[in-house]
Chains A and B, each alone.
Chain A
Amino acid sequence: MAREDDILKDRDGFDTTEEIPMGKFAALMPVSQRAYLEITGSKEKDGIFELGETEVVLGRSTECDIQLGVQNVSRKHARVVFQNEEYLIEDLGSTNGVFVNGIKVAKCVLRGNDQIEIGGVKLVFNEEKSVHKK
């Protein structure tokens, strides 16, 4: 009776010890995810803010990562976190709420072109995946 490894050897050109050139494939795989918040209506902070993997707090307080000097924005209004390879926005108990595409949310995983509104400040979320070129 043939042993299992003998059977495997009989297969045409199949050798489990052969090194697979992963480098070739890895070069074509997406390696990073970049995400942005485009801010309008905040006066001095309008512009594009790139998100990383660390938490970003938005609010009126000077302690916030994105300080929004607008009266209807709470001191610590919301945060954006990177979790399970996705970005999500969470209301930190603000007075005027967090809206995503017009819906008041406690939390929401963000998708491309989501329109966010906090205390009158408008933010658009967008992301892109970058790919290594050969």
Chain B
Amino acid sequence: MADKMLVTFWGTRGSISTPGRTTEKYGGNTPCVTIENQATKIVLDAGTGIRNLGIELVREAETRKQPLGIHLFLSHTHWDHIQGLPFFQPAYLKDTRVTIYGSPKKEQFLASVLKRQMDYEYFPVSMSALTADIRIQEMSKENLRLGPITIDWEEQVFHPGGSVRYRFSAYGKKIVYATDVELDLFLRKQGRSEKEEVSAEEYMRFVADADLLIADGMYSEEEYPARIGWGHGSIPTVIEAAAKANVKQLALFHHDPQHSDKVLDELWVKYRTRYLARSRKMDLFWAREGLTVAV
């Protein structure tokens, strides 16, 4: 496994956490995913799933007696992607370093949003009480390299307030994390504007040949028409785009809070069967908490 990137899902739910018996299979925690390769630890988003990750990391640090170095990449700062941060135990460890990356458009904004989330009106502990060495770093035009993993990124505009997609490359493999984007608005639209045309080309180029694409698949085709403009796309659109872009494996992510395990199982059967009937080049699955895949 030394030359593999291990991808683990700690939170797969969109918008709001959904604890309970009907969501225990796919999970009720909001977005958090890790990519690990040997000592390199990358965290994608700080939804409520980051709480369990933090417990695991502290346990690991105690066993190994080594300080933690964590790289947290935020897709954006909507609640469901940051609300776990105040409960992330490593942030309270003096020897830990947490570097938080986000859109350069929002560097000051990012720091201020994270700080405001821990304002006394909302949370009893202020951000200054986090004893870890926390640094906020804007993404630059140059690719970032962490251990063997190279990271590049692009802005996504088709989400209220925007979001960022990231690509992680190592050992000839590519993982793309592209959640919270309404693909239908620029990939399906008839008579696209120049901006939409550029967005479509950029998206397809960015996800092309990905070994794993973690993508927003919030709505079925029946649900989507009533949710146009909400910033999330339909499942068939992302499947078609991924297949066209020669993606090897697609993880549907950011599940609708209204979708119980039963509904997600039904969607999985419906769309997987429909896709595999036409082609077997790409595998697709619905991301669930506690699942680790090797890329």
Residues of A whose CB lies within 8 Å of any CB of B are: 86, 88, 91, 93, 100-109, 111-112
- Give which listed residue, B6, B283, B290, contacts A108 with CB less than 8 A: B290
What is the CB-to-nearest-CB distance from A44 to chain B, in angstroms, rounded to a whole number?
31
> Given A111-B24, A111-B25 in contact, is the A105-B1 Cβ separation under 8 Å?
no
**Cα separation A108 to B6 with both chains bound (whole Å):** 12
Judged by a CB distance under 8 angstroms, whether B277 is at the interface is no
Interface string of B265-295 (1 = CB under 8 A from A): 0000000000000000001010001111110
With a cutoff of 8 Å between Cβ atoms, the chain A residues found around residue B291 in the complex are 100, 103, 105, 107-109
Instruction: Determine whether the beta carbon of B25 is less than 8 Å from that of A108.
Output: no
With a cutoff of 8 Å between Cβ atoms, the chain A residues found around residue B294 in the complex are 91, 104, 106
**Cα separation A111 to B25 with both chains bound (whole Å):** 6
- Give which listed residue, B6, B285, B289, contacts A109 with CB less than 8 A: B289
With a cutoff of 8 Å between Cβ atoms, the chain B residues found around residue A93 in the complex are 1
Would you mind naming 11 contact pairs between A and B with Cβ atoms under 8 Å apart?
A86-B290, A91-B294, A103-B291, A105-B292, A106-B4, A106-B292, A106-B293, A108-B290, A108-B291, A109-B289, A111-B25
With a cutoff of 8 Å between Cβ atoms, the chain A residues found around residue B293 in the complex are 103-106
- Which one of B8, B283, B290, B294 has the highest number of Cβ atoms from chain A below 10 Å of its Cβ? B290
What is the CB-to-nearest-CB distance from A59 to chain B, in angstroms, rounded to a whole number?
18
With a cutoff of 8 Å between Cβ atoms, the chain B residues found around residue A102 in the complex are 285
Instruction: Determine whether the beta carbon of A103 is less than 8 Å from that of B290.
Output: no
What is the CB-to-nearest-CB distance from A125 to chain B, in angstroms, rounded to a whole number?
12
- Give which listed residue, A108, A111, A112, contacts B292 with CB less than 8 A: A108
With a cutoff of 8 Å between Cβ atoms, the chain A residues found around residue B285 in the complex are 101-103
Interface residues of B in 22-59 (CB under 8 A from A): 24-25
Describe B's contact surface by its main secondary structure.
strand
Instruction: Determine whether the beta carbon of A106 is less than 8 Å from that of B6.
Output: yes
With a cutoff of 8 Å between Cβ atoms, the chain A residues found around residue B8 in the complex are 107
With a cutoff of 8 Å between Cβ atoms, the chain B residues found around residue A106 in the complex are 1, 4, 6, 292-294
What is the CB-to-nearest-CB distance from B9 to chain A, in angstroms, rounded to a whole number?
10
Instruction: Determine whether the beta carbon of B290 is less than 8 Å from that of A88.
Output: yes
**Cα separation A112 to B8 with both chains bound (whole Å):** 20
**Cα separation A104 to B6 with both chains bound (whole Å):** 12
**Cα separation A100 to B290 with both chains bound (whole Å):** 12
When C-beta atoms are compared, the residue in chain B nearest to A86 turns out to be B290
When C-beta atoms are compared, the residue in chain B nearest to A90 turns out to be B292
**Cα separation A113 to B290 with both chains bound (whole Å):** 16
When C-beta atoms are compared, the residue in chain A nearest to B251 turns out to be A103
What is the CB-to-nearest-CB distance from B58 to chain A, in angstroms, rounded to a whole number?
13
What is the CB-to-nearest-CB distance from A88 to chain B, in angstroms, rounded to a whole number?
7
With a cutoff of 8 Å between Cβ atoms, the chain B residues found around residue A101 in the complex are 285
- Which one of A86, A93, A107 has the highest number of Cβ atoms from chain B below 10 Å of its Cβ? A107
With a cutoff of 8 Å between Cβ atoms, the chain A residues found around residue B25 in the complex are 111-112
Interface residues of B in 245-280 (CB under 8 A from A): none
**Cα separation A109 to B52 with both chains bound (whole Å):** 13
**Cα separation A110 to B285 with both chains bound (whole Å):** 16
What 3 pairs between A and B have smallest CB-CB spacing?
A109-B290, A107-B292, A106-B294
- Which one of B6, B285, B289 has the highest number of Cβ atoms from chain A below 10 Å of its Cβ? B285
When C-beta atoms are compared, the residue in chain A nearest to B290 turns out to be A109
What is the CB-to-nearest-CB distance from A78 to chain B, in angstroms, rounded to a whole number?
13
With a cutoff of 8 Å between Cβ atoms, the chain B residues found around residue A88 in the complex are 290
When C-beta atoms are compared, the residue in chain A nearest to B4 turns out to be A106
Instruction: Determine whether the beta carbon of B24 is less than 8 Å from that of A103.
Output: no
**Cα separation A132 to B293 with both chains bound (whole Å):** 38
**Cα separation A29 to B133 with both chains bound (whole Å):** 43
What is the CB-to-nearest-CB distance from B266 to chain A, in angstroms, rounded to a whole number?
14
With a cutoff of 8 Å between Cβ atoms, the chain B residues found around residue A111 in the complex are 24-25
With a cutoff of 8 Å between Cβ atoms, the chain B residues found around residue A109 in the complex are 289-291
**Cα separation A104 to B248 with both chains bound (whole Å):** 13
